[in-house]
């Protein structure tokens, strides 16, 4: 019983810390980004948009974790496609996986508006390690 409560306390601390961090991140995005998805370029209410890591959060080092250039606002669909490696960005250009050819996921824009030298390394990581290799299985 004591052990269970102890474990719960540790879990709560972990989740609270993570939650605060995500909250801070979301606040930054809402104050600094337009209310549109960086991939499909559609405008949505802020409450619909998600804070998305260009390079997955779970493999970031401390410096990368604190770098706001690694986050963008994405709609739920694009965020999921991106995290699964079904869509990526290469040199500022959006690339879709062949797996999506038979599905209704049409992107009208081809370029990321705010692609720059600060976020390029994170997109490059995603292209090489997730889109090409699909190392993450969700």
Contact residues for Zn ion (CB under 5 A)?
A: 37, 39-40, 75, 78
Distance CA 55, CA 130 (A): 9
Nearer to Zn ion, 30 or 64 (CB): 30
Q: Are 38 and 73 in contact (CB under 8 A)?
A: yes
Q: How far is the CB of 104 from Zn ion (least distance, A)?
A: 14
d(CA 59, CA 117): 21
In the complex, what is the shortest distance from the CB of residue 5 to Zn ion, in angstroms, rounded to a whole number?
42
Number of H helices, E strands in the chain: 4, 4
Q: At closest approach, how far in Å is the CB of 134 from Zn ion? A: 20
Say which residue the tokens 């260009």 belong to. 54
Q: How far is the CB of 44 from Zn ion (least distance, A)?
A: 8
133 conformational bin, left if phi > 0, alpha if psi -120 to 50, beta if neither:
alpha
Closer CB to Zn ion, residue 7 or residue 29? 29
* Closer residue to Zn ion, CB minimum distance, 37 or 112: 37
**Residue 132 beta carbon to Zn ion: minimum distance, rounded to whole angstroms:** 22
Please, which residue, 35 or 65, has the CB nearer to Zn ion?
35
The Cα–Cα gap between 86 and 1 comes to 45
Nearer to Zn ion, 41 or 70 (CB): 41
Structure tokens at 20: 């605060």
């Amino acid at each position: 019983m004591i052990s269970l409560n102890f474990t719960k306390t540790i879990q709560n601390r972990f989740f609270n810390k993570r939650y605060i961090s995500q909250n801070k991140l979301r606040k930054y995005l809402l104050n600094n980004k337009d209310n549109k998805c960086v991939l499909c370029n559609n405008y949505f209410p802020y409450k619909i948009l998600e804070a998305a890591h260009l390079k997955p959060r779970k493999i970031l080092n401390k410096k990368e974790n604190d770098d706001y250039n690694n986050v963008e606002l994405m709609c739920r669909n694009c965020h999921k496609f991106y995290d699964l490696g079904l869509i990526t960005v290469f040199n500022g250009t959006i690339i879709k996986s062949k797996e999506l050819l038979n599905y209704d996921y049409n992107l009208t824009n081809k370029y990321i508006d705010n692609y720059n030298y600060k976020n390029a390394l994170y997109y490059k990581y995603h292209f090489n390690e997730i889109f090409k290799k699909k190392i993450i299985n969700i």
